Structure 1
């Protein structure tokens, strides 16, 4: 995907998520998200923070956090999390069309938008639908990026991932067949219902995702 196409997807996903969350009940905001340690409102605030983060502000915030990525993320959540979640939704809408990014590969913006979108939607029982090429690009990035940098390369080692919709294949080894969004989530350290994963390597990927959570000491989670 070109840079322009990537940003178009990211902007669209921010607006779609804001629309999906407009009907969330007050008590649902405290539900645990798929992102370890964060509730639904935390993830939303994090998305606002990352939408506002530029290369310069990323470095500034990291220095303020004493080079601790986890602390920087938590500071960003505290900064952007409004008392009323509806105001946090409004903040995401205001930032939806920004093209700011920390000093990282542009594919991380797709990972942020798609994975965090599912971090929020799945616990709420909201169905998500994402462009196949965007999911594929995000997955390819996660597969070549170490866990220590927010990727999932080690989780997929020795596995052949197969998208059951497009028959696209990544890697070699024991087969795991699933929708590409479920492969992306598992590789990114999210727990995926085992019945969504098929093949000789399915249990290994599910177990690895469940027991190797996203490294909090990474530029993105």
Structure 2
């Protein structure tokens, strides 16, 4: 996809997530996500931070954190989390159409909202699935590089093939699954491993374990 199309997908996925978030109870906002120790509200604040941080601001923040990525993330999360969920949601709504990002890797920022959207939806049982064409772009990016996630390392020596779209990459034992399941596995979300099949699936599942 061209850059403008990728940004349109990012904005659409943010808008879809915001609509779902508006239906959540306070208990659901406090639900543990798939993203480590973060609850739903933390993940939303993180997405807002990413869409509010220029390259210069990111460099200043990471240097100020002495290159401790966890500390950098916690500081930015605290900056963008509201006093209550409704305020956190309002801040997220404010960046839905933002094109601000720390780098020009637009597919990575589409990956941010796709993956973190599922980090929220999966434990809450929310049924929304991002469009296959958008997720395909993320899968291709993740498999080609170790950037925001170690997708290239996880896919090394394996043949990945989507059952619902055109995504296919690599050589080796086959791993089959939906584009979303493959993408989430490349992002290290082990719960999606159960949706994968093929002789290479056990290897990819093992690489998703913490």
Same fold (TM over 0.5): yes
Aligned-pair distance for 1:126?
0.5
Q: Do the aligned residues in 2 keep the contact of 1:135 with 1:180 (CA within 8 Å)?
A: yes
- In the alignment, the residues of structure 1 paired with residue 187 and residue 149 of structure 2 have an alpha-carbon distance, to the nearest angstrom, of 8
Runs of 4+ in structure 1 deviating by more than 2 angstroms, as ranges, are 192-195
Alignment of 1:111-126 (within 5 A): 111-126=111-126
2:185 equivalent to 1:186: yes
Aligned-pair distance for 1:146?
2.4
1:167/1:50 Cα in 2 relative to 1: closer, same or farther (>3 Å)?
Answer: closer
Q: What is the aligned partner in structure 2 of residue 100 from structure 1? A: 100
- In the alignment, the residues of structure 1 paired with residue 91 and residue 203 of structure 2 have an alpha-carbon distance, to the nearest angstrom, of 39
The 3-state SS of whatever aligns with 1:4 is helix
Q: What is the aligned partner in structure 2 of residue 163 from structure 1? A: 162
1:9/1:167 Cα in 2 relative to 1: closer, same or farther (>3 Å)?
Answer: closer
Q: What is the aligned partner in structure 2 of residue 215 from structure 1? A: none
The 3-state SS of whatever aligns with 2:191 is coil
Alignment length (residue pairs): 210
Listed as ranges, the gaps of 5+ residues in structure 1 are 212-221
TM-score, normalization: structure 1? 0.90
2:55 equivalent to 1:30: no
Q: Do the aligned residues in 2 keep the contact of 1:34 with 1:191 (CA within 8 Å)?
A: no
The 3-state SS of whatever aligns with 1:192 is helix
Q: Do the aligned residues in 1 keep the contact of 2:174 with 2:200 (CA within 8 Å)?
A: yes
Larger RCO of the pair (alpha carbons < 8 Å, separation 6+): 1
- In the alignment, the residues of structure 2 paired with residue 129 and residue 23 of structure 1 have an alpha-carbon distance, to the nearest angstrom, of 17
- Once superposed, what is the RMSD of the aligned Cα atoms? 1.5
Alignment of 1:57-206 (within 5 A): 57-146=57-146, 150-206=149-205
- In the alignment, the residues of structure 1 paired with residue 103 and residue 69 of structure 2 have an alpha-carbon distance, to the nearest angstrom, of 13
Q: What is the aligned partner in structure 1 of residue 16 from structure 2? A: 16
Aligned-pair distance for 1:174?
0.9
Q: Do the aligned residues in 2 keep the contact of 1:141 with 1:151 (CA within 8 Å)?
A: no
Listed as ranges, the gaps of 5+ residues in structure 2 are none
1:193/1:58 Cα in 2 relative to 1: closer, same or farther (>3 Å)?
Answer: closer
Aligned-pair distance for 1:55?
1.4
- In the alignment, the residues of structure 2 paired with residue 44 and residue 208 of structure 1 have an alpha-carbon distance, to the nearest angstrom, of 26
TM-score, normalization: structure 2? 0.94
